[in-house]
A = this chain, B = another copy of it.
Amino acid sequence: MAKQKKTAIEPTREENYPEWYQQVVRAAELAENSDVRGCMVIRPWGYALWENIQRGLDRMFKATGHVNAYFPLFIPKSYLEKEAEHVEGFAKECAVVTHHRLEAGPDGGLVPAGELEEPLIVRPTSETIIGATYAKWVQSYRDLPILINQWANVVRWEMRTRLFLRTAEFLWQEGHTAHETEGEAWEETRKMLEVYKTFAEEYMAMPVLTGEKTAGERFPGAVSTLCIEAMMQDRKALQAGTSHFLGQNFAKASNIQYQSREGRNEFAWTTSWGVSTRLIGGMIMTHGDDDGMVMPPRLAPSHVVLLPIIRNEEDRASIMAYCNEIAAALRQQRFHEREIEVVVDDRDINAGEKGWGWVKKGIPLRAEIGPRDMANHSVFLARRDTGEKQAIGRDEFVGTIAAILGDIQRNLLARALAFRREHTREIDSYAEFKAFFTPANADRPEAHGGFALSHWCDGGECEARISDELSVTIRCIPFDRAAGGGGGCVCCGKPSSGRVVFAKSY
A101-B91 contact, Cβ under 8 Å, with A39-B72, A44-B69, A47-B70: yes
Question: Could you tell me if A36 and B102 are in contact, using CB atoms closer than 8 angstroms?
Answer: no
Closest to A120 in B: B36
Question: Could you tell me if B72 and A36 are in contact, using CB atoms closer than 8 angstroms?
Answer: yes
- Report the interface size for chain A: residues with CB under 8 A from the other chain: 61
List which A153-172 residues lie within 8 A (CB) of chain B.
153, 155, 157, 169, 171
Question: Could you tell me if B100 and A95 are in contact, using CB atoms closer than 8 angstroms?
Answer: yes
Closest to A103 in B: B91
A75 at the interface (CB under 8 A from B): yes
> A46 — which chain B residues lie within 8 A by C-beta?
69
Question: Could you tell me if B148 and A44 are in contact, using CB atoms closer than 8 angstroms?
Answer: yes
A48 at the interface (CB under 8 A from B): yes
Question: Could you tell me if A81 and B110 are in contact, using CB atoms closer than 8 angstroms?
Answer: yes
Closest to A97 in B: B95
Question: Could you tell me if A102 and B109 are in contact, using CB atoms closer than 8 angstroms?
Answer: no
Question: Could you tell me if A69 and B41 are in contact, using CB atoms closer than 8 angstroms?
Answer: yes
Q: Which of A41, A68, A112, A133 has the most CB of B within 10 A?
A: A41
A73 at the interface (CB under 8 A from B): yes
- Nearest CB of chain B from residue A10's CB, rounded to whole Å: 21
A99 at the interface (CB under 8 A from B): yes
Question: Could you tell me if A98 and B98 are in contact, using CB atoms closer than 8 angstroms?
Answer: yes
Question: Could you tell me if B133 and A73 are in contact, using CB atoms closer than 8 angstroms?
Answer: no
> Bound state CA distance, A93 and B47, in angstroms?
30
A40 at the interface (CB under 8 A from B): yes
Question: Could you tell me if A98 and B69 are in contact, using CB atoms closer than 8 angstroms?
Answer: no
Question: Could you tell me if A93 and B101 are in contact, using CB atoms closer than 8 angstroms?
Answer: yes
- Nearest CB of chain B from residue A483's CB, rounded to whole Å: 40
Question: Could you tell me if A96 and B94 are in contact, using CB atoms closer than 8 angstroms?
Answer: no
Question: Could you tell me if A101 and B94 are in contact, using CB atoms closer than 8 angstroms?
Answer: yes
> Bound state CA distance, A93 and B97, in angstroms?
13
Question: Could you tell me if A96 and B101 are in contact, using CB atoms closer than 8 angstroms?
Answer: yes
> A77 — which chain B residues lie within 8 A by C-beta?
102, 110
Question: Could you tell me if A95 and B120 are in contact, using CB atoms closer than 8 angstroms?
Answer: yes
> Bound state CA distance, A44 and B146, in angstroms?
11
A100-B110 contact, Cβ under 8 Å, with A36-B74, A48-B68, A72-B39: no
Q: Kindly identify which residue among B43, B72, B87, B112 contacts A41, using a CB–CB cutoff of 8 Å.
A: B72
> A97 — which chain B residues lie within 8 A by C-beta?
95-98, 122
A72-B110 contact, Cβ under 8 Å, with A94-B102, A99-B98, A157-B101: no
A69-B93 contact, Cβ under 8 Å, with A34-B133, A77-B102, A157-B101: no
A388 at the interface (CB under 8 A from B): no
Question: Could you tell me if A171 and B70 are in contact, using CB atoms closer than 8 angstroms?
Answer: yes
Q: Which of A98, A100, A103, A169 has the most CB of B within 10 A?
A: A100
Closest to A150 in B: B47
Q: Which of A43, A72, A110 has the most CB of B within 10 A?
A: A72
Q: Kindly identify which residue among B35, B68, B98, B153 contacts A44, using a CB–CB cutoff of 8 Å.
A: B68
- Nearest CB of chain B from residue A76's CB, rounded to whole Å: 6
A18 at the interface (CB under 8 A from B): no
- Nearest CB of chain B from residue A96's CB, rounded to whole Å: 4
Q: Kindly identify which residue among B96, B101, B152, B155 contacts A112, using a CB–CB cutoff of 8 Å.
A: B96
> Bound state CA distance, A414 and B96, in angstroms?
49
Known: A39-B73, A93-B101, A99-B119. 15 other contacts (CB 8 A): A34-B72, A34-B129, A34-B132, A34-B133, A35-B79, A41-B69, A41-B72, A87-B102, A91-B101, A91-B103, A92-B101, A94-B101, A95-B97, A96-B99, A101-B157
Binding site for B on A (CB under 8 A): 32, 34-36, 39-44, 46-48, 50-51, 67-77, 79-81, 87, 91-103, 109-110, 112, 114, 119-122, 129, 132-133, 148, 152-153, 155, 157, 169, 171
The 4 closest A-B pairs by CB, nearest first: A39-B72, A44-B67, A42-B70, A96-B99
